[in-house]
Each structure stands twice: as C-alpha cells, then as structure tokens.
Structure 1
Amino acid sequence: MSEITYVRGDATVPSAEGVRLIAHVCNDLGGWGRGFVVAISRRWPEPEAAYRAWHRGRADNDFGLGAVQSVQVEPYLWVANMIGQHGIRGRGKDAPVRYEAIDTALARVARKAGELGASVHMPRIGCGLAGGSWTRIEPLVTERLAARGIAVTVYDHEGGGT
C-alpha cells in the first residue's frame, strides 16, 4: 500500500520520474474553461480538444458520469479527463460534485495507471468548482489508488487554496 503524498506546487508539472498520469475532474455538460482545466489548456491543447470531441460524440460513446478519457500529451505523460461533476454550480444550486462518479472514475484511472506503470498526480479533485469535500474524496483516492500500490501525489497550488 502506498500513501498519498501532499506537496505545494503545480499539478501540471508532476514531480516524479517515469510515466505520470494527471487526473482531474470535468463536468458532464461539455464545458471547459474554468478551474484546473485552464492550467491544463495552457500547457497542452490535446486534453481540451479530446474532451470536446468526446462530448460532441456522446450519443455514440461512453461520455457520462464516471467515465474517463486518457489523453497522451508527452511521451511519458498522460491526462485523465474524469467526468465527476453533474452540471456547473449556479446560484442556490447544490454542489455539482458526484462522489460516486469520482469513485468509479478513480477505479478506471487505477486500471490505466496499472497498464502504463504510471504514478498519479492531481490537485484536490472535485474540491474546487465542483464544490466537493476533500474529507469525502481523499478516502476514495486512498482506496482506489494508494491501497493498490499506485503512487499518488496531490498538489496544493503555490498561491494557497486548492
């Protein structure tokens, strides 16, 4: 069993050697443009383009809560677009985070990390715009990834906050 390592830094610049997989949460509306996805798009165009195409073709693919799309962005670096948020947060609305979907997506990320022999890197997924609680998400990350021997690093952005 591995433990989750917490560091201050940028999750788009994973601090490990070897194959790395950056996991993050997306919504099920096809919206990309706020939160951690902005940092991803600043570094690589492929994850956003793949997510938008995946959403456009959703009638004929697995796009939906709990699904994961893995996109290779560098020879030893992948980005996992995990659908773990239903809609977006609006005034007076409940938080769009869907813990069950994040749990399902993390199990899929674990399989992909195992296939690749990759470590997994992430911000505190589901806790920003999705409105989730890390006290509910951390046990899912532990069970689905760390308990299976997958090295996990969680990044808290240098500027404070998550």
Structure 2
Amino acid sequence: MALQPAPYARQAGQDWLLACADTPAEIRSLWDGDELGPVPAGGHWMVAETSLARTMDALRRIDQPRRGPVLADVTTGITWWLLPPTLGEELNDVGTITVHPRGWVLRCPPVLYPVRGRMWLERPDGTGRFTDPVLLGAALGPGGAPRLPAEASQ
C-alpha cells in the first residue's frame, strides 16, 4: 500500500470532515473567517469527551495506526474522540469519559490549521477510520491499556 504525501492526506481529511457536516458551505465560510464549524454527532460519528491530560496518556497507550481523529481545545484542556456511529455501551463503565448523544454539536476547526485554541491531535485522514471504543476504554480505564503478562514480554 502506497502512503499518500502528508498534504494530500490532510486535505483528504478536511474534505471528509466537510462531507460529514450538514452545511459544508457554511462551515467553509466560518473557517475562512477563523471561526469553528458546527458538526453534529450521530450521522457519521459519535463523540466522546475527556480531559487533555487523560487523552495524552491514552495516545501513548494506543498505537498510531489504531487511532482515529482526536480534537483538542488547549485553552480548556478538553478533548473529543470521534468514534464509530455504531457506538453502543462499550464506554458506559469508563468514568473518565462522557459520550455525547446523537445530535450533539462538536465545533470543529479545519483539519489543516488550528482555530480559537482548537486543533486536531490526530487528524481525520479521509478514510473514516475511528479509534476502537473498547481500546479507548482500556486506555482510559483504571489500569490503562491492556498489557501482556510479564513472561510474554521477555
């Protein structure tokens, strides 16, 4: 599989994000004015919210190829993980994360650059790839990510 050059991948991610919006032209106009664009949860993804500190720990525990888009607001210390629209109860027992209902609006910057303190820690890549909610729950849960038994890692 050939890897796409970084600028192409970022543009593909931005095109995908716009395609997920109810009003892509309005969002593009907001972005042109350095404003955040509203994209509702549910149709293309669900949104799980947690702290920036917890997200940074989880990002260390989840291999990069297994991560989906993660948006951060560095001024408030909040992050949002975009998860599959088929999300069920996988994260119900993880007390450090809040899953927002369908229709909840996530105010997004463009993929290509930050706006008003919001930036993509993991950019959408245009493929619709998401973090597996079970993996995210394990990374954010009490013990962190699943670990191999000590004898298996030797």
TM over 0.5: no
- When normalised by structure 2's length, the TM-score is 0.26
